[in-house]
Every structure is written in C-alpha cells, then in structure tokens.
Structure 1
C-alpha cells in the first residue's frame, strides 16, 4: 500500500477528517462527498486492501465494523427509518480507494440497488 492512501493518513492524523468515532480498531468519519444526508465511512485502523484480504488474523474487524455502524445509525437517528451498509470490493464493484471501508448511508429513502 502506498503511504499516500487518504484513509491511512486519516488514521495517522496526518490529514483532518470529521471523525465521529474511533477506537483502537476502527475510525469512522463523514464522507466528504456524501450520497445521503448521513454518509459515514468506517475503516479499520490497520491496512486491509479489500474484502478479499480478510483472513483468520483480521476477520474479527468486520464484526466490529458492523457493530459500530449499527451504533452510529442509532446515534444519528436513522436506525428506525432504515439505513444501508455498503462494502465495495475492487474496481468493478466501485471500490475507489484500495483500503477496506464501509459506507453507512441513511437519512432519506434510498433507491433500490438491484
């Protein structure tokens, strides 16, 4: 991975982001180009390129990411009306940054993807 990854720089506090949650495992922050009224990115604090790079050593991070996403949805008051969690894997699926990340979207009626 390149040291210039924007997500790596956010985790290392080299560039600023509107961080809404962080712990020793993950960081969550507002997307700078939101696709919904609530658009939060949730990333692991360790580099994992994509879902394809989940293994026995790092598999627990996904559960933690989902757990925190649900808690953020409750805090943002979008849990009752509904929200979407998206994880894109590689270019054809829309993963623009080579760093595992989860999108939490809500705050309006979202269009159906499929």
Structure 2
C-alpha cells in the first residue's frame, strides 16, 4: 500500500510543494512547529533509516544536498536550522517513508 508521501508524490493528495526533481520532493509540513517547516522526502519508499541500503547512499546524499539548498533558499543558512528524522514508533515516526524535517526561521531550543 502506498504511503501518504507516495500519494503526495503521485498527486493523489495535495501539498504545498517547494522543491521537486526526479528523486526528491519537498513540501511544507501541515502542522509546522516553526516559520519554516519543510519535509524533504526521497521518492523511493524506504520505510525507516534502518532500511537504507548501500545502493541508497547517493540518494540520501542528494536529500541532504536538497536540504542545504532549501536552507539557503529560505535564508536559514546564516542563523541556523534543524534537520530531524524520526525512526520507528519510539522515535516518533508516524509515516513509514523516510523523511527529513527542515525546521527554522526562529530561535530553536536545545533538544540534546
């Protein structure tokens, strides 16, 4: 069964898309925790960080390059931002399609 994010990728569910190429899509979070809260998602369905295969290394590297590009585009690169990826239920993951939260635009408290 397709994940929520695959449905967004396939345009079955609307989203505020801010970036897309053949491998990666990025869209605004529907419940933002900061002025900028974007989800950066590889189009390949990889359920969790634990499921990243050696063959996915370039794809995950590309995801991080997109995060950096978006951070600059949203002018987060100077003051700073946070990148978060939750893994499995105890880690807070609710959609089992690996994704990265780009969060910024305000002072963020320390987490760890």
Q: Same fold (TM over 0.5)?
A: yes
CA displacement at 1:8 relative to structure 2: 0.8
Q: Which residue of 2 aligns with 1:94?
A: 92
Matches within 5 A, 1:62-101: 62-101=60-99
Is 1:19 equivalent to 2:5 in the alignment? Answer: no
Q: Which residue of 2 aligns with 1:111?
A: 109
Instruction: Provide the aligned length of Structure 1 versus Structure 2.
Output: 112
Q: Distance in 2 between matches of 1:55 and 1:39?
A: 27
Q: Distance in 2 between matches of 1:46 and 1:62?
A: 10
Q: Distance in 2 between matches of 1:57 and 1:63?
A: 11
Q: Which residue, out of 49, 52, 63, partners 1:51?
A: 49
Q: Unaligned stretches of 5+ in structure 1?
A: none
Question: Structure 1, residues 54-102: CA drift from partner, whole Å, max 9, x if none?
Answer: 1112121111111100110101011100000111111111111111000
Q: Distance in 1 between matches of 2:5 and 2:47?
A: 11
CA displacement at 1:15 relative to structure 2: 1.0
Give the TM-score taking structure 1 as reference length. Answer: 0.95
Runs of 4+ in 1 over 3 A off after TM superposition: none
Give the TM-score taking structure 2 as reference length. Answer: 0.96
